[in-house]
């Protein structure tokens, strides 16, 4: 868990400068993170930063400034043409491949780059009238050319919850139907329109695991770029452990784990898999396991 200030200066003041992306692309000191289909180019477990001149065709956005003041742009590349042969290019990796192998500051840049690239790719038309839009503010907004409404890369909140027993000695995790049966994780779900975070936690946990909650509290959050989510992490205490049961649709099994069992799974031993190192789900599990509050 982190309560650290971001190390990426988003340089919001630059977004208002007319033609700022053209100016920054012409500056030889500018560096670029290129994203294609949710993947970035990686060399030796580090995200590659290239010169703007190395990019032939892309949609551009300003990501911000690195700690040393270097301006960082996003280049969202078109999908590879189908005519290119299908040999996997191993240096293009996504967040799930890279999670935990690059440091948290780089992970933050990676998530921002993938999230904004997805918006540039998917949101070309006005959701109100269907009109064409024009990028503004260094590609952090679009204005509809027909109805003149402004649109922004919205973030969808979702809750993710570590549910513990009343005595704090066991953790309730669920196996999602899409995970193949071996993987267990915290319960999670999107906030619906008109719903508070707290209401979402109570609803999702009851729907997916059958238990009701005696208490809950916020711990931390993490941006997640699929497509642009904000995972809001909670710890909750169950009212009655015995009521735990899977919903049978999204969740195919729920199970109470002791700290010893979580130790084994975190070490990668035994039959149970846990979420990957870049995820807030794993951070919530590790925090509970280590007795952090």
Q: Residue 147 interacts with Zn ion (CB under 5 A)?
A: yes
- CB-wise, 128 or 292, nearer to Zn ion? 128
Distance of closest approach, residue 132 Cβ to Zn ion, in angstroms: 9
Distance of closest approach, residue 130 Cβ to Zn ion, in angstroms: 7
DSSP 3-state of 49: coil
Provide the token pair at 133: 């839009």
Q: Residue 150 interacts with Zn ion (CB under 5 A)?
A: no
- CB-wise, 62 or 144, nearer to Zn ion? 144
Q: Residue 23 interacts with Zn ion (CB under 5 A)?
A: no
Of 11, 17, 141, nearest to 73 (Cα)?
11
| Residue 30: how many other CB atoms lie within 10 Å | 19
DSSP 3-state of 277: coil
For residue 290, CA distances in Å to 2, 238, 259, 264 come to: 15, 19, 9, 13
DSSP string, 177-243: GGGTTTB-B-EEEEPPTT--HHHHHHHHHHHHH---EEEEEEEEEEEETTTTEEEEEEEEEES-GGG
Distance of closest approach, residue 135 Cβ to Zn ion, in angstroms: 14
- CB-wise, 139 or 262, nearer to Zn ion? 139
DSSP state of 69: S
Distance of closest approach, residue 144 Cβ to Zn ion, in angstroms: 3
Stretch of residues binding Zn ion (CB under 5 A), selected from 30-38, 146-154, 185-193, 229-237: 146-154
Q: Show the site string, 124-143: x = touches Zn ion by CB under 5 A, - = not.
A: --x-xx-x------------
DSSP 3-state of 93: strand
Q: Residue 144 interacts with Zn ion (CB under 5 A)?
A: yes
Number of residues that bind Zn ion (CB under 5 A): 7
Distance of closest approach, residue 115 Cβ to Zn ion, in angstroms: 23
Distance of closest approach, residue 150 Cβ to Zn ion, in angstroms: 10
Footprint (CB under 5 A) of Zn ion, residues 107-126? 126
Q: Residue 214 interacts with Zn ion (CB under 5 A)?
A: no
> What's the CA gap between 195 and 182, in Å, rounded?
32
* Binding residues for Zn ion (CB under 5 A): 126, 128-129, 131, 144, 146-147
């Amino acid at each position: 868990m982190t309560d650290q200030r971001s190390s990426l200066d988003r340089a919001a003041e630059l977004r208002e400068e007319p033609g700022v992306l053209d100016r920054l692309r012409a500056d030889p000191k500018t560096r670029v993170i290129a994203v294609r289909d949710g993947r970035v180019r990686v060399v030796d477990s580090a995200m590659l930063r290239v010169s703007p001149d190395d990019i032939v065709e892309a949609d551009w956005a300003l990501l911000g400034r690195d700690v040393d003041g270097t301006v960082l742009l996003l280049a969202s590349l078109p999908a590879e043409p189908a005519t290119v042969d299908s040999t996997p290019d191993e240096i293009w990796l996504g967040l799930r491949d890279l999670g935990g192998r690059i440091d948290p500051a780089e992970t933050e840049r990676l998530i921002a780059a993938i999230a904004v690239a997805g918006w540039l790719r998917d949101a070309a038309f006005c959701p109100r009238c269907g009109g064409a839009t024009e990028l503004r503010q260094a590609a952090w907004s679009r204005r509809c050319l027909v109805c003149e409404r402004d649109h922004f890369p919205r973030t969808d909140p979702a809750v993710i919850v570590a549910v513990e027993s009343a005595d704090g000695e066991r953790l309730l995790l669920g196996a999602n139907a899409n995970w193949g049966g071996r993987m267990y994780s915290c319960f999670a779900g999107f906030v619906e329109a008109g719903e508070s975070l707290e209401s979402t936690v109570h609803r999702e946990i009851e729907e997916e695991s059958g238990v009701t909650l005696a208490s809950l509290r916020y711990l931390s959050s993490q941006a997640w770029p699929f497509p642009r989510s904000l995972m809001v992490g909670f710890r909750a205490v169950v009212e009655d452990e015995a009521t735990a049961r899977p919903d049978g649709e999204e969740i195919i099994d729920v199970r109470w784990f002791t700290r010893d069992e979580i130790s084994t799974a975190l070490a990668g031993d035994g039959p149970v898999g846990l979420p990957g190192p870049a995820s807030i789900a794993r951070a919530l599990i590790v925090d509970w396991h280590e007795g952090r509050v």
